[in-house]
A and B are shown apart, each in its own frame.
Chain A
Amino acid sequence: MNSLEKTERRPLRIDLSRTFIRRTDLSNANLEGANLSYADCQNAIFRRVNFKDANLEGTILRGADLSDSFNLTRAQLDKAIIDETTILPAYLRT
């Protein structure tokens, strides 16, 4: 079986590192394992997004809407740049 005939299904590897994607809408995306390091996502919308194992190092999330996103951890957020305008999912609002 050559590389074109692989049939296994796995999530897309999404590399949005160092991109400028302010005010874009990634709602419902599956960002499992995605690389968003140092991306400028200011005021972007991430509703109902799966952040499992996503790399958020240095990701600018000021004003971003992360409501109802899931598999997002405090450890991931600690590496990102957020402020009081960032809308966090309910389970991380403490």
Chain B
Amino acid sequence: MKQYWVSLSEIIRNIGLVIGGAIGIYLAWKRVVASNKQADAQLRQAEMSRRNHVTELFNRAVGQLKDEKLEIRVGAILTLGQVCTDFRDLSSPVIRLLTTYLQQEKSDYGEIDAPADIGEIIRIIALMSQKPPEGTYE
């Protein structure tokens, strides 16, 4: 009779261990899922911050392209060039913007060397044309 109770208690203990283990695994899995969701949310947030930052840079540079001072225009073009380099998916719209600038601000500088803004745009176009963009706004 005593042997029976010993066996029964061992069975109950083992069942308890299995149930406890299963609950532990379930809680750990829930925690992993929650962590993954949080990581995804943080990635999305970082991507949105990046987009906002680039949009701000882009808009500011576009405004400065019309500035009458050459150094301001060159600064804006250098910023756009940096956007191209750092955010490859934006290189296509930036290049389109710069070529539109060349077409609109068509200045006949005669036989002298190209002004710094024109030269810088051409340098950026030559550089970026060697590296196809990664996913583009079309």
Task: Name B48-94 residues within 8 Å CB distance of A.
Answer: 89, 91-92
B45 at the interface (CB under 8 A from A): no
> Is A4 at the interface (CB under 8 A from chain B)?
yes
Q: CB distance B132 to A6 under 8 Å?
A: no
Option from A18, A19, A22, A34 in Cβ contact (under 8 Å) with B109: A22
Cβ-defined contact, B99 with A19, below 8 A: yes
The main secondary structure of chain A at its interface with chain B is: loop
Separation of A61 and B75 alpha carbons in the complex (Å): 30
Task: Name the residue of chain B whose CB is nearest to the CB of A10.
Answer: B132
A28-B134 in contact (CB<8A): no
Q: A26 to B107, alpha carbons, bound, how many Å? A: 18
Complex alpha-carbon distance, A25 and B123, angstroms: 7
Q: Once bound together, how far apart are the Cα atoms of A50 and B25, in whole Å?
A: 60
Whether B138 and A3, one on each chain, are in contact in the complex, defined by CB atoms closer than 8 angstroms, is yes
27 contacts between A and B (CB under 8 A): A4-B137, A6-B138, A7-B135, A8-B135, A10-B132, A11-B129, A12-B91, A12-B95, A12-B129, A12-B133, A14-B129, A16-B99, A19-B102, A20-B106, A21-B102, A21-B122, A22-B110, A22-B114, A23-B112, A24-B118, A25-B122, A27-B126, A28-B130, A29-B125, A29-B126, A29-B130, A43-B111
Q: Give chain A's interface residues, CB within 8 Å of chain B.
A: 3-31, 34, 43
